[in-house]
Amino acid sequence: MMSAEAVASMQAPRHFRVEIADGVATLLVDDPGEKVNTIHPALMEEFVALVDRLEKDDAVRAIVLASGKADGFVAGARIELMQTVKDAASAQRLARDGQAVFDRLERLRKPVVVAIHGACLGGGLEWALACHYRIAADHPRTSLGLVEVQIGLIPGGGGTQRLPRLVGIQAALDLILAGKTVKARKALKLGLVDEAVPPAILLDVARDRARALASGKLRRERRPARKGAVESVTRLALEENALGRQVLFRQARRTVLAKTKGHYPAPLRAIDAIEHGYQKGFAKGLEKEAELFGQLAVSDVARRLMEIFFATTALKKDSGVDDPAVKPRKVERVGVLGGGLMGSGIAYVTVNAGLPVRIRERDDAAAAKGLSAVGSILDDRVKKRSIDRLERLEKLRLLTATTDWSGFAEVDLLIEAVFEDLALKQEMVRAFEAVNPRGIFASNTSSIPITKIAEASAHPETVLGMHYFSPVNKMPLLEVIVTGKTSPEATATAVAIGKKQGKTVIVVRDGPGFYTSRILAPYMNEAAQLLVEGASIEDLDHALVEFGFPVGPITLLDEVGIDVGDKVGKILHGAFGARMAPPASLHDVVAAGRLGRKNRKGFYTYDGKEKRVDETVYDLLPGGRSRKRFAPEDIQERVVLQMVNEAILCLGEGILRSARDGDVGAVFGLGFPPFRGGPFRWADAVGTRKLLDKLETLRTRHGERFAPAPLLVERGAAGTPFHR
Ligand code: NAI
């Protein structure tokens, strides 16, 4: 039993549940009112007070740290804290405070075993690293990682020092520099945890090990974990001596630079901190870590990445409609029309969310193909151990397919992904309503106005767009498109289902190209225009990749299909007139049978091992094979400003509900560089006044397509930003 004094001074901790039995105190982290545990000063203070007491308590011989939440252990430090830091020094202090707590824990005279289930990320993993023995629940949802670089930071609670000493330098670099997470079994292999056990016995095993450690039956020293982590003897030798480590760090810096183009400083600073710790020792390493953490915390890149994080979090709580009284309809069954590339992907994310799905296809063969496409995504996940066989079966059981309308009277929501053809989509609307007049009809069209599709409906309030991105199982964004007639209930329902499917959902108003395709079109047109003016394909792609896009515009055209780009371009040209006219040469390229990667013939050739520019494509363009040099900055300015100005037009016209949505849509849908925060954050960083000037200059030089959006004229004149 716990001593009376200890119990009195502990007086019902707010963030922990404490159970003491058989000499073992179990601390269950349970931040009140929160779905997941995060680390913050009040919680840490209480933790220190608890361990102080328990250390003195003779009734307690060992401690088990675990989570009282069903969802997971600790998801990281509370990121909101970082928004309140004024300067690098205060962020550094925050890190030092956290380090001090974990130091205290590591030095505790009684053994502490940590039992991990679910997310154990960032500061959560640093907490676990300071414990003396780690056990993870062997379950697909258990994930461990130091993910700080994802928001532009480095671990600040000792992670850069403890992790490499536990799993070896190379394994630690692999995890920290990419912000990667691993599951229980991989963690065991790396030596990151000492055991992986079935979830049901996690706590029992942890208490058992705690007692064994206390009695000396189990040794408290760290296992020689590198055994599993280091794949080769050469690698081990490298890590053992200073010169070898130098080689490792140099290699790591080179790899990071090649990957990030120098846009993301955090991984480099993480290497600095780790290296410093090996040169000057653990304590100095911690100091360095906190210092670098402080600098990064107030950097622009970290700010932008955190803003995106907050925008995404805010969207998770956003119902998509302004009236809080509006509730989404209960959806118990979903129908999917068309089991092709998009339809099968949509069916997968839906059954994955636990909802029954019925696919309707044209014939048996197509239906079977749709089913097996979903099956192979699930197989892939079983192979990667993110689900087990039983879960795969459970999900597959939710899926049926048919070639008629049977079963569609029972669906609450229908998502249509048949061919891109207005007449066909309208026919689908009428046929669906004939069997299910109340059901919500969502179209995944990429370019047809939803208003047009809704014209076929007797209940246009139930018609909207749910625009997914390919591949649906990987791309995070869903653009929900509403017409003037779509009911708020239908909107809220589509948003709720999108979130269930794991998507970040933005709601936009119907209009040609909606939001994402609309801002992509002028960006692509400008790149094509530069090509016509004589720029080389390499220079164009290179310039935009340097700006931070994952691929350049010409590569993107090849990937999407030049014919597809041409088709969408034509639609938007029709809708917006001359300013969105794609250069005529693009049609010539398509007419010459070049469709892009899909027929291995585009701006690049795909015959050899390496993707190379196909010089013969220049024969179809003005200027032929002799190309002119354009400065990368000029290319970036023209192409990016086309996109940003169009985004501002969308906000001004009410296509977008907010600048936040515009940023999230561009980053998650189009790969707008995350460290620039999205078109509106970027516009704010440049300054609206300066941006306006730039556009006016380009307008004089290149014509009316650069006419600044009225909203920018307004903001620029006053010098006010888009984000408060
Ligand atoms: P797809 O050609 O792979 O699939 C279309 C499927 O619809 C085919 O399996 C076809 O058999 C089926 N289908 C045709 N008529 C049907 C009918 N009357 N009843 C039932 N099934 C029928 O095409 P994909 O790429 O999946 O595109 C589908 C829709 O998604 C299109 O509207 C497209 O614009 C849109 N979209 C496509 C994206 C992409 O990247 N491919 C991205 C976003 C939207």
At 71, which helix (H) or strand (E)? none
Kind of pairing between the strands at 16-21 and 24-29: antiparallel
Peptide bond into 583 cis (omega under 30): no
Tokens, residue 668: 């998650």
Whose C-alpha lies nearest to ligand 1, atom 40? 470
Here the tokens at position 488 are: 């708020």
| Contact of 668 with 309, CB cutoff 8 Å | no
Domains and CATH numbers, the chain: 4-297 (3.90.226.10), 334-511 (3.40.50.720), 517-718 (1.10.1040.50)
Distance between Cα 607 and ligand 1 center (Å): 28
Vertex 588 angle, CA 583 and 589, to 5°: 95
Listing DSSP states for 81-149 in one string gives HHHH--SHHHHHHHHHHHHHHHHHHHH-SS-EEEEE-BEEETHHHHHHHTSSEEEEE-STT-EEE--GG
CB neighbours (10 Å) of residue 488?
Answer: 18
Q: Which residue has the least CA distance to atom 18 on ligand 1?
A: 362
Cα-to-centroid distance, 417 and ligand 1 (Å): 4
What is the tens place of the pLDDT at every residue in 652-666? 999 999 999 999 999
Task: Tell the residue nearest (CA) to atom 12 of ligand 1.
Answer: 338
Closest CA to 620 of 593, 644, 589: 589
Q: What sign does the dihedral 268-274-275-281 (CA atoms) show?
A: positive
The predicted model scores a pTM of 0.92
Angle value at C-alpha 441, between 440 and 443, nearest 5 degrees: 145
Mutation test residue for ligand 1: of 341, 514, 517, the one with most atoms within 8 Å of CB: 341
Give me 202's structure tokens.
Answer: 């996690």
Residue whose Cα lies nearest atom 30 of ligand 1: it is 417
Q: How far is the CA of 344 from the centre of ligand 1 (A)?
A: 9
**pLDDT, position 89:** 97
pLDDT confidence of residue 642: 98
* Calpha distance 86→308 (Å, rounded): 20
E-strand ranges in 192-274 read: 195-197
Choose one of 418, 422, 477, 564 to mutate for the ligand 1 pocket test, by most ligand atoms within 8 angstroms of C-beta.
418
Q: Do residues 82 and 297 lie in contact, with contact meaning Cβ atoms separated by under 8 Å?
A: yes
Q: Is 289 within 8 Å of 78 (Cβ atoms)?
A: no
DSSP 8-state class, residue 265 = -
**CA atoms within a 13 Å half-sphere pointing along the CA-CB vector of 614:** 22
Instruction: Give the pLDDT score at 239.
Output: 86
If you measure from the C-alpha of residue 467 to the centroid of ligand 1, how many angstroms do you get, rounded to a whole number? Answer: 12
Q: How many other C-beta atoms can be found within 10 angstroms of the C-beta atom of residue 234?
A: 9
Q: Residue 63 Cα, ligand 1 centroid: separation in angstroms?
A: 57
Q: Looking at this protein, which amino acid is placed at residue 434?
A: A
What stretches in the chain show pLDDT beneath 70? 1-11, 220-235
- Two tokens at 464? 């909207």
> Which residues line the pocket of ligand 1, CB cutoff 6 A?
337-343, 360-362, 366, 417-420, 444-446, 468, 470
Ligand 1: atom nearest CA of 443 is: 32
Nearest CA to ligand 1 atom 29: 417
Distance CA 296, CA 269 (A): 8
Measured from the Cβ of residue 210, the count of other Cβ atoms closer than 10 Å reads: 30
Residue of 336, 337, 342, 597 best suited for mutating to test ligand 1, as the one with most atoms within 8 Å of CB: 342
Helices (H), ranges, 671-723? 679-686, 688-702, 710-718
CA angle, 97 as apex, 95 and 101 as ends, to 5°? 115
Measured from the CA of 416, which atom of ligand 1 is nearest? 29
User: What integer pLDDT is reported at residue 65 of this predicted model?
Assistant: 98
pLDDT, residue 224, reads 45
CA distance 347 to 389: 19
- In what helix (H) or strand (E) does residue 402 lie, and over which residues does it extend? strand 399-402
| Adjacency order of strands within the sheet including 463-468 | 399-402, 357-360, 334-337, 413-416, 440-443, 463-468, 477-482, 504-509
Smallest Cα–Cα separation from 111: which of 68, 73, 64?
64
Catalytic residues: 479
Structure tokens at 486: 């779509």
- ipTM metric: 0.99
At 237 the pLDDT is: 74
Distance CA 580, CA 540 (A): 19
* Cβ neighbours of residue 359 closer than 8 Å, sequence gap 6 or more: 335, 336, 337, 338, 339, 343, 344, 347, 367, 370, 371, 399, 400, 401, 402
Indicate which atom in ligand 1 lies nearest the CA of residue 560.
40
Closest ligand 1 atom number to CA of residue 343: 26
Residue-wise pLDDT tens digits, 13-67: 899 999 999 999 999 999 999 999 999 999 999 999 999 999 999 999 999 999 9
Angstrom CA distances, 496 to 65, 114, 268, 329, 665, stand at: 35, 36, 39, 9, 17
Q: What is the pLDDT of residue 5?
A: 52
- DSSP secondary structure string for all residues of 437-481: TTSEEEE--SSS-HHHHHTT-S-GGGEEEEEE-SSTTT--EEEEE
How close is the Cα of 452 to the center of ligand 1, in Å? Answer: 18
Tokens read off for 471: 């591949």
What's the pLDDT at 221? Answer: 59
β-pairing verdict for 413-416 and 440-443: parallel
CA of 510 to the centre of ligand 1 (A): 20
Distance in Å, CA 603 to ligand 1 centroid = 26
Q: Among 349, 362, 447, which is best to mutate for testing ligand 1, by the most ligand atoms less than 8 A from CB? A: 362
Q: Which residues contact 121 (CB under 8 A, 6 or more apart)?
A: 74, 75, 76, 143, 144, 145, 146, 147, 181
Distance, CA of 521 to CA of 515 (rounded, Å): 10
| Cα separations in angstroms, 64 against 6, 36, 221, 292 | 17, 19, 17, 32
Q: What is the dihedral of CA 706, 710, 713, 716, to 10 degrees?
A: -100
Ligand 1 atom nearest the C-alpha of 360 is 20
Phi, psi of 535 (to 5 degrees): -70, 155
Q: What is the pLDDT of residue 234?
A: 64
Model pLDDT, residue 386: 84
